[in-house]
């Protein structure tokens, strides 16, 4: 017997004495149980018979074939996207070409506009010169018209002084001569405006 304060002494083993060989396991099966489990396992999982032909795993084959179909569908989508991308690239090239043509047309139009503006300025200056010439010619025409009227009046006066016996048909008054000169100048103005 061991004293309560004794820490060095070990308790005696109360288990049965161990026999020789491998120790017995708690969940060890008997030979009959092992044979019964073996027969059940053989019945549930028959052994694979090896022959020259391959055997198919139908589930795996179906899965692989569905995956192949998915891959083909994705490849078809990829081909369609490639054709769409090629069409968009062609369309983009056409748009860029049209844009460059439009820019060139705008540049040409601006160049033509600048040339036309120069022509307009040149024509306006020529018109101003021609207007000045027309005004000076108008002044000359009016002056010549007045001179013609004066000469006609002198001729009539000389004619009336030479032949006093013949009465003149019409007496030219100052008012009548000024109205004639005005009518003639208006006619000349109308002719010049019509020719311009």
Residue 38 domain-assigned (yes or no): no
* Token pair of 89 as six digits: 């690239």
Compute the distance between CA of residue 62 and CA of residue 167 in angstroms, rounded to an integer: 141
Residue 72 lies in a domain: yes
Q: 3 lies in a domain?
A: no
Domain presence at residue 170: no
Q: If we measure between CA atoms, which residue out of 152, 154, 158 comes closest to residue 181?
A: 152
Structural domain contains residue 85: yes
pLDDT at 24: 73
Q: Is residue 101 part of a domain?
A: yes
- pLDDT tens digits, residue range 86-127? 999 999 999 999 999 999 999 999 899 988 999 999 999 999
Q: Does any domain span residue 92?
A: yes
Q: In which residue ranges of the chain is pLDDT below 50?
A: 195-196
Six token digits for residue 75: 């490849």
Domain count, the chain: 1
d(CA 163, CA 158): 9
Expressed in percent and rounded to 5, the helix, strand and coil fractions of the chain are: 70, 0, 30
Is 22 a domain residue?
Answer: no
Residue numbers of the domain that contains 124: 59-160
Q: What is the pLDDT of residue 33?
A: 92
Phi, psi (rounded to 5 degrees) for 135 = -65, -40
CA 12/CA 8 separation, integer angstroms: 13
Q: Across the chain, what does the average pLDDT equal? A: 81
Contact between residue 193 and residue 185 where contact means Cβ atoms under 8 Å apart: no
pLDDT at 29: 85
Per-residue confidence (pLDDT) for residue 170, from 0 to 100: 58
pLDDT at 196: 46
Give the whole-angstrom CA distance, residue 90 versus residue 97: 11
């Amino acid at each position: 017997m061991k004293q309560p304060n004794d820490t060095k002494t070990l308790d005696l083993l109360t288990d049965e004495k161990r026999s020789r060989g491998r120790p017995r396991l708690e969940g060890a099966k008997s030979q009959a149980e092992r044979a019964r489990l073996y027969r059940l396992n053989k019945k549930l999982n028959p052994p694979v018979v090896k022959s020259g032909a391959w055997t198919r795993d139908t589930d795996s084959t179906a899965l692989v074939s569905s995956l192949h179909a998915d891959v083909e569908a994705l490849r078809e989508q990829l081909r369609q996207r490639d054709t769409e991308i090629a069409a968009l690239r062609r369309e983009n090239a056409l748009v860029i070409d049209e844009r460059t043509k439009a820019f060139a047309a705008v540049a040409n139009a601006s160049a033509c506009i600048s040339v036309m503006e120069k022509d307009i300025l040149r024509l306006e200056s020529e018109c101003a010169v021609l207007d000045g010439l027309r005004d000076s010619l108008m002044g000359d025409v009016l002056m010549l018209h007045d001179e013609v009227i004066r000469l006609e009046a002198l001729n009539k006066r000389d004619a009336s002084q030479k032949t006093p016996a013949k009465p003149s048909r019409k007496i030219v008054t100052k008012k009548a001569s000024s109205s004639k000169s005005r009518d003639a100048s208006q006619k000349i103005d109308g002719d010049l405006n019509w020719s311009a």
